[in-house]
Amino acid sequence: MENRDTFKDAKELPAENLSDEEKKAASAEERTEVAETGTSGAAEPPQQPLRSRQDALTVEIQKLSGRIMDELKKVIVGKDEVIRKILMVILAGGHILLEDVPGVGKTTLALGLSKVLNLQYKRMQFTPDTMASDITGFSVYNKETGELEYKEGAALCNLLLADEINRTSAKTQAALLEVMEEGGVTVDGITHKVPDPFVCIATQNPLGSAGTQKLPDSQLDRFMARLSMGYPDLKSQVDIVKQRQTSDPMNSLRPLAKDSHIKTMRKAVNLVRMDDEIIQYGARLCEKTRSLEAVEQGVSPRAVLALVQMAKANALMSGRRYATPQDIKEVFIDVCAHRLILTARARIHKETEQQILQKLLNEVKPPAMLERKGK
């Protein structure tokens, strides 16, 4: 990937993300700019250069996101919306649950992401005999040194694909839960941090339930979003077959980013502006799920945080430094559907989480917001 000053230089980040030394350097630079141009602080406030850098960073993130999506389309055909939402989760600092039937490209998507984002990738096939130590690692005795040595588990990477996560034991699932929530693993009382960034993409088949161990609600709640790729349409299926006749498109993928870019983009997501009215709109939607007749257990406060982060990432990938109610609406079902527990009556009547949440979106009126120029 070509080096761009917007990502290369820490001074391009908003001031809230800079260290004390960087803030002093940026402040000195702005004072120098004012002195050289001869403008007073009242006429040219010091914040203006910083705002320009914020705008430039937002544009660069939008462009980079578009290039990443275009590159992934080489191996994942006809699933642009899924690719976009997975990128949103990664920028929002979350983890993804891909729930779908076999053979639709879940593993291909994860491998493609690791190549395009240039992340250390590990894939773990979960089975009933998979042990917690396979994820966390373990200690072995070294007779030469007389000490215990730590051997890394699968979780010590940037992008972990937990394939068929519901086919392993609850104990193994709980080991993965610590990694997802705490960003580290504890072995023999010693905590080992996973690389930053760390993303877990877990897959499960919603139909094949034989020999599976259902994920507990507490672990489902740790996934920022649940997505489904679904079957490709006829044209996409034909394109998939044609592009694989002479070569594997996976070999043509180019690395377009690296871990430092992802960190920069995550910081930019945190600084996307979201007005109180929009936060209240998201919280109101989540609160309504707890009083619906068809819902036994509504979404948690963690879901509200995830909803806000996903909405901010959607705004940033759209080239905006501010969020709108539409950003909330576009990600609400993906963030909340897997966190709902429906009543037996609702399941008997074939109601789905998606239908219930869509009805809620139609009923709860969003705030009337004017997009103010220069936000």
Please tell me the predicted confidence (pLDDT) of residue 188: 83
Summarize the confidence of residues 137-161 as an average pLDDT: 88
Whether 75 shows a pLDDT value over 80: the answer reads yes
Between 167 and 29, the higher pLDDT residue: 167
pLDDT by residue (tens digit) across 88-119?
999 999 999 998 888 888 889 999 999 999 99
Whether 10 shows a pLDDT value over 70: the answer reads no
Q: Which CATH architecture best describes the domain 60-247+257-266?
A: 3-Layer(aba) Sandwich (3.40)
Please tell me the predicted confidence (pLDDT) of residue 183: 87
Mean pLDDT is lowest, of 123-127, 167-171, 275-279, 301-305, for 167-171
Whether 84 shows a pLDDT value over 60: the answer reads yes
Between 34 and 159, the higher pLDDT residue: 159
Question: Whole-number mean pLDDT of the chain?
Answer: 83
Whether 353 shows a pLDDT value over 60: the answer reads yes
pLDDT by residue (tens digit) across 33-68?
333 333 334 444 445 566 677 788 888 889 999 999
Mean pLDDT is lowest, of 4-13, 178-187, 206-215, 327-336, for 4-13
pLDDT by residue (tens digit) across 222-231?
999 999 988 8
3-class secondary structure for the chain? CCCCHHHHCHHHCCHHHCCHHHHHHHHHHHHHHHHHHCCCCCCCCCHHHHHHHHHHHHHHHHHHHHHHHHHHCCCCCCCHHHHHHHHHHHHCCCCEEEECCCCCCHHHHHHHHHHHCCCCEEEEECCCCCCHHHHHEEEEEECCCCEEEEEECCCCCCEEEEECHHHCCHHHHHHHHHHHHHCEEEECCEEEECCCCCEEEEEECCCCCCCCCCCCHHHHCCCCEEECCCCCCHHHHHHHHHHCCCCCHHHHCCCCCCHHHHHHHHHHHHCCECCHHHHHHHHHHHHHHHHCCCEEECCCHHHHHHHHHHHHHHHHHCCCCECCHHHHHHHHHHHHHHHCEECHHHHHCCCCHHHHHHHHHHHCCCCCCCCCCCC
Whether 268 shows a pLDDT value over 90: the answer reads yes
pLDDT by residue (tens digit) across 305-336?
999 999 999 999 999 999 999 999 999 999 99
60-247+257-266 with 272-363: one CATH topology?
no
- The domain spans of the chain are 60-247+257-266, 272-363
Residue 229 CA to its chain's centroid (Å) = 16
> How does residue 161 score in pLDDT terms, banded at 50, 70 and 90?
very high
Rounded to whole angstroms, the Cα distance separating 204 from 96 reads 11
Out of 1.10.8.80, 1.10.3470.10, 3.30.300.30, 1.10.10.10, select the CATH number for domain 272-363: 1.10.8.80
pTM higher than 0.75 for the full model?
yes
